[in-house]
Amino acid sequence: MSEFEKIRYTRQKDFDINDKNLIDFEFDGKKRKVYSNCNLSIFVDDYCNADCKFCVAQLRYENISKAYLKPKIEDDLEYYKRLDEVLTKIEPLNVSVSITGGEPTLSKRFIKILELIDKHNMRKRTITTNGSALLNYVDGKRIIDHLIDRKFDHLNISKTHYDEEINKKIMRYKKGYCSNSNLEKIIPYALSKGLRPRLSCLLLKDGIKSVDDISKYIEFYEKMGVDNIIFRELMDYDENTMCNLEKMDYNVRNKVRLNDIWKDIDKDSRFKPYKNLLGYYYYVEMYYYNSVVVCSESADLKQQTKEKNKHDDIVYEMVFHPNGNLNGSWVDNEDILMKYEVKK
Ligand code: SF4
């Protein structure tokens, strides 16, 4: 068995955060060690114009029985002031940044958030979006041009299937849509401006479920110029603590196991192994398929909790929540690094 395959099966047993570079840093007077490749996620808002049957954002949050609608700083100016304060504090850590949600491009705060990220010269700027508003105009400019002007590096677009009817059935848009003809405009334009698009596809029995489907997906979007696609396995989570029954039931019925897909990929010479990557709760295998870099990722939320509990002084990643807290967690009142105090 190659090293590549060995890690595939042993996974998290091989992960040791102490092998990584850690930086001493103080948050609100408390000493912590920050993983040097730490990412800051700005969770803009939970609103989304789609209602994906599997929604990972909701699943992640409801995973510990919290209501999905998060509390937030109501006043826009106060929110910007708080974000500015947090970015000023963590600037010396030189973290990468990603904007996420819900659908972040639909927030009225979106343009100002981009401005603040640019002001603080954040490294490696990424947005995760369903793509439906990228060609919409805000303040006289298309969203995609705002991203380009604010020097974003990566544009992650979620699309579960190249077949529009199947995609619509799974993503259940209530308003707006990111069609393949929109992507025909978005992809080459983004590439020509140095904003690298990446398509993100969740593997589902209702959707892309086999190596053959994966090949068709890659070849469909390769024609548009896409050179980077990620296929994700539905996350493992603690079933006893879930509260969203509809999504839970859907996810149980629809899970496609990457271990099975990888076994088939091993036998398929069109996929050339490139590298693998072990994170603190995720594992990624990367391949070349023609000119496309194909990533495949599995993640386990139970492992995330376990790893964090094992090293509670370490900050693996940071999340800025709508309530103004900076946390080492995706839950807005857990592992608070900088607590937002409401001004009286
Ligand atoms: S597009 Fe993303 S945030 Fe919106 S419903 Fe789908 S998975 Fe959730």
Tell me the pLDDT tens digit for each residue of 88-117. 999 999 999 999 999 999 999 999 999 999
SS (H, E, C) 18-29: HHCCEEEEEECC
Q: Measure 23 CA to ligand 1 centroid, in angstroms.
A: 33
In a domain, 189, yes or no: yes
pLDDT in tens, 315-327: 999 999 999 999 9
Burial 143-162 (b: 16+ CB within 10 A, else e): bbbbbbebebebbbbbbbbb
CATH number, residue 87: 3.20.20.70
Q: In this structure, how many other beta carbons lie within 10 angstroms of the beta carbon of residue 163?
A: 15
Q: Report the C-alpha gap between 260 and 255 in whole angstroms.
A: 11
Q: Report the C-alpha gap between 198 and 288 in whole angstroms.
A: 14
Confidence label for 9 from pLDDT (cuts 50, 70 and 90): confident
pTM summary value: 0.93
Q: Report the C-alpha gap between 10 and 58 in whole angstroms.
A: 29
Q: Measure 130 CA to ligand 1 centroid, in angstroms.
A: 7
Q: Side-chain half-sphere of 254: how many Cα atoms within 13 Å?
A: 23
In a domain, 263, yes or no: yes
More confident residue, 288 or 5: 288
In a domain, 11, yes or no: yes
Q: Nearest-CA neighbor of 151 among 133, 187, 120, 124?
A: 124
Q: Given ligand 1 and candidates 158, 250, 251, which is best to mutate, with the most ligand atoms within 8 Å of its CB?
A: 158
pLDDT in tens, 177-202: 999 999 999 999 999 999 999 999 99
What residues make up the domain containing 172? 3-338
Residues in contact with ligand 1 by the CB-under-6-Å rule are 48, 50-52, 55-57, 101-103, 130, 158, 171
Structure tokens at 332: 């807005």
Residue of the nearest CA to atom 7 in ligand 1?
A: 55
pLDDT in tens, 108-153: 999 999 999 999 999 999 999 999 999 999 999 999 999 999 999 9
Per DSSP, the three-state class of 258 is helix
Q: Measure 78 CA to ligand 1 centroid, in angstroms.
A: 27
Give the total number of structural domains in the chain.
1
Q: Measure 172 CA to ligand 1 centroid, in angstroms.
A: 9
In a domain, 176, yes or no: yes
Amino acid 66: pLDDT: 46
In a domain, 343, yes or no: no
Residue of the nearest CA to atom 8 in ligand 1?
A: 55
In a domain, 127, yes or no: yes
Q: Measure 175 CA to ligand 1 centroid, in angstroms.
A: 13
Q: What DSSP assignment string belongs to 142-203?
A: EHHHHHHHTT--EEEEE-S-SSHHHHHHHH--SS----HHHHHHHHHHHHHTT-EEEEEEE-
